[in-house]
A and B are shown apart, each in its own frame.
Chain A
Amino acid sequence: MTKRNDTHESTEVPGDEGNPAPERGVNAALAELAASVRGFGAFQMNACVRCGLCADTCHIYRAEPDVANLPAMKASSITSVFRRYHTFLGKRLPGLVGARELTAERIDEIRDVVYGRCTSCGRCASNCALGVDLRHILQVGRRMCAVAGRIPEGLQRTVDNQLETGNQMAIPQEEFLSTTEWLSDDLKLEMGDDTLRIPVDEKGKRILYVINPREVKFFPLSLMAAAGVFHAAGESWTLSSKVFDVTNYGFFAGDEASARELVRRVAEEAGALGVEQIILSECGHGYRSFRWEGPRWLGREYAVPVSSVVELLDEYIECGRVQVDREKNAERVTLHDPCNLVRLGGLSEPQRRVLRKVTLDFVEMTPNRENNFCCGGGGGMLSMSEYGDRRVASGKVKADQIRATGAKIVATPCHNCADQLIELSKRYHLGVEIQAVVELVYNALC
């Protein structure tokens, strides 16, 4: 908690100490807004002409066509405040230009919009006729809520877990070690190789593999599969029992100080272990935040290259470093593109090349790649119970896409999407199984 409080204090306005909490929150949010609209940021805030073409781009609006879910309207909860404080007319004749004063109540309205009606998937921004980055505007809204101390409770708890215990599920180090030993034992039996073990805290290996804590606590099959594939490839790799969490809930929350700290820990651990490369497990926002946002937060590039495990799997198969048999995955498989990995992370082809090599009947859903629809679980939505009903409702768009493929298995290189897809399968009676890409590769090993 200490770290979080430090974060908040650093954003307070000088001379603000004597003010009551809500007023301090408003001032901190206004300071964050002011810092966000320098230069190009101001253009973004002023450019939306409310043509409404973004309506159909948004999975939340499509599932529930309420004007409150229209991306342009969502953005206007923030741009109206921008106009009030940063434009000539907004300062003098606010009523004329729809400019609105920021109050504690309005921060809560913004909070409902930016966390509860938007998954930061960016589909509206990439389809905007004017090129307005609505996703960025809504992210500014998240940052304003964060400095005002109004991050939703479930999301805040997850950030606190990460900062205080080193991982989002507060898994103790001993539990991590016991789980990797247990998985090693199971893997030995499955692969029929007694020498096999999952390496932990080993120095001088080629790769540091960073995972989603969900793979330790609740869904270890993907970690087991990765260990199996690395073993088959003769890879030199290790996990870290201290820094193993690829996720970054500071990023979801709009709390950049926490986000920076989480990224710093992984980069530092890679240095301490002396690895040549960091490989990130299948995690959409983990990839986006570590690979792309991290160097910006830290103000420097990493000392070693960073890739997603799907790129490594692609390399193994292309080079013949592992042998696979497509017949072993005979059922129809489709692929869900995680927004943070594909549209916002730039990684769309390796996972497809891999799936075509390890499955017999791979079909695309429509639309796909950078124009995919969010599953509805992005933006930290899965950690915020208060929006659970909206999350499941907005997943109808994805459920319809999946159903149309006739697939029995949905592969997705993101553990967060996987949880949402499991729930969609149940709620929309899709009868599909959700798997990580690495699980299908492991299953296809010869």
Chain B
Amino acid sequence: MEVDGKSIEFDKDGFMVDPGLWDEAVAAAVAVDEGIDELSETHWKIVKFIREYWKEHDLAPPVRLICKDLGVGVRDIYKLFTSGPARGACRVAGLPKPDGCV
């Protein structure tokens, strides 16, 4: 995928091969692929929270932390990201695919 003149490579699951190349333009492009034409303020809050948590822990955050720290209702997150926190929000945030049944 070409984003702002940069060539971004994705694995066969649609996650970034090099998460280091992530920026807001990449997030917006992946979001469109997720069916989100424009990321709202809440979307951005979630995406940036996931990104920061991952940089610190090398892991995707549990949904509890996303909801509690950002004041997002547990039922709302699946409306914001219809693919859910893993294949939806983490993918937009440029993380590698979380391990296991997701």
Contacts and interface: CB of A to CB of B under 8 A. Distances in A.
A415 B102 CA distance: 8
A385 B62 contact: no
B100 A158 contact: yes
Interface stretch (B1-9, B23-31, B37-45, B77-85): B77-85
Contacts of B74: 183, 186, 220-221, 224
Interface in A146-186: 154, 157-158, 161, 168-171, 175, 178-179, 182-183, 186
How large, as a class, is the contact surface on chain A?
A: 35 or more
A385 B63 contact: no
Contacts of A169: 98-100, 102
A347 interface: no
B14 interface: yes
A246 B86 CA distance: 20
Interface in A191-228: 212-214, 216-221, 224
A174 to B, nearest CB: 11
A218 B99 contact: no
Nearest to A154: B99
Contact of A426 (B15, B68, B83): B83
A339 B101 CA distance: 16
B13 to A, nearest CB: 4
Contacts of B78: 221
Nearest to A160: B99
Contact of A213 (B12, B13, B35, B101): B101
Nearest to B73: A186
Contact of A218 (B14, B85, B97): B85
B35 A426 contact: yes
A179 B11 contact: no
A422 B83 contact: yes
A383 B87 CA distance: 12
Contacts of B85: 218-219
B34 A426 contact: yes
27 contacts: A154-B99, A157-B99, A161-B100, A169-B99, A171-B62, A175-B64, A179-B62, A214-B101, A216-B62, A217-B62, A217-B98, A217-B102, A218-B60, A218-B84, A218-B86, A218-B98, A219-B84, A382-B100, A382-B102, A383-B99, A383-B101, A385-B15, A388-B11, A389-B12, A419-B87, A422-B82, A423-B83
Contacts of B87: 419, 422-423
Contacts of A217: 60, 62-63, 86, 98, 102
Given A178-B64, A426-B83, A419 B101 contact: yes
A175 B67 CA distance: 14
